[in-house]
């Protein structure tokens, strides 16, 4: 058993201890995770973002115009100032400008393309079912007409499609979590205790 395995196993058990109830070991692990995660991000972002996009252009390539966005970025810090917090709006709004692009792009990729692929080609029972499901679900979310009579029956088909879809998504999510759990159990019983090969 190496020190690395011992530390990883101890911290794994600290987190698992929450299954019993909240306790000092879990809280220690939880706070440690927050600190280490944030501490991990700082040098990573410094090396992969700050150096190539701020330091190198200004100090090595002498592209002094980059000083302007660097100063804009620094204005984020004023978010915590009582009198100057309005200055932090400038780096935020510079990023927010991209929403202009999301208007035509979302309309194209998430609406028009999806509608087209839902309708064409309707050449077998599965594509017809997908089409019926998509239309009935969309009708279910149309609240300007009461869901009564024939319309209510149509929207009810949409509910059934949604329930199957939610069930499938749920099953998929559970299996993803279970595979993570199996990974941790394999680590504890295999790498740490050596009980399984």
Residues 47-106 binding another protein (CB under 8 A) are 47, 49-50, 53-54, 57, 66, 68-70, 72-74, 76-77, 79-80, 85-86, 88-106
Is 25 near another protein (CB under 8 A)?
no
| Residue from 120, 122, 129, 189 in contact with another protein (CB under 8 A) | 129
Q: Does residue 150 interact with another protein by CB under 8 A?
A: no
> CB of residue 193 vs another protein: minimum separation in angstroms?
15
Q: Is 144 in the site for another protein (CB under 8 A)?
A: no
Provide the minimum distance between the beta carbon of 149 and another protein in the complex, in angstroms, as a whole number.
20
User: Is the CB of 152 or the CB of 169 nearer to another protein?
Assistant: 169
Query: What is the DSSP code string of 132-158?
Result: HHHHHHHHHT-TTS---HHHHHHHHHH
Q: Compute the least distance from the CB of residue 164 to another protein, in Å.
A: 4
Residue 132 sits in the site that holds another protein (CB under 8 A): yes
């Amino acid at each position: 058993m190496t020190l690395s395995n011992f530390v990883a196993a101890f911290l794994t058990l600290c987190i698992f201890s929450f299954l019993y109830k909240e306790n000092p070991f879990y809280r220690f692990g939880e706070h440690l995770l927050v600190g280490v995660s944030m501490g991990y991000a700082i040098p990573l972002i410094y090396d992969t973002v700050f150096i190539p996009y701020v330091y190198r252009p200004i100090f090595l390539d002498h592209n002094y115009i980059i000083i302007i966005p660097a100063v804009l970025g620094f204005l984020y810090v004023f978010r915590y100032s009582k009198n100057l917090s309005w200055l932090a709006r400038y780096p935020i709004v510079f990023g927010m400008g991209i929403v202009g692009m999301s208007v035509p792009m979302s309309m194209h990729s998430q609406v028009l393309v999806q509608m087209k692929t839902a309708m064409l080609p309707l050449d077998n029972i599965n594509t017809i079912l997908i089409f019926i499901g998509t239309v009935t679900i969309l009708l279910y979310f149309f609240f300007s007409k009461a869901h009564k009579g024939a319309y209510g029956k149509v929207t009810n088909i949409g509910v059934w499609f949604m329930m199957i879809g939610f069930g499938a998504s749920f099953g998929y999510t559970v299996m993803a979590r279970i595979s993570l759990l199996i990974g941790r159990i394999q680590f504890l019983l295999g790498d740490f205790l050596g009980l399984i090969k």
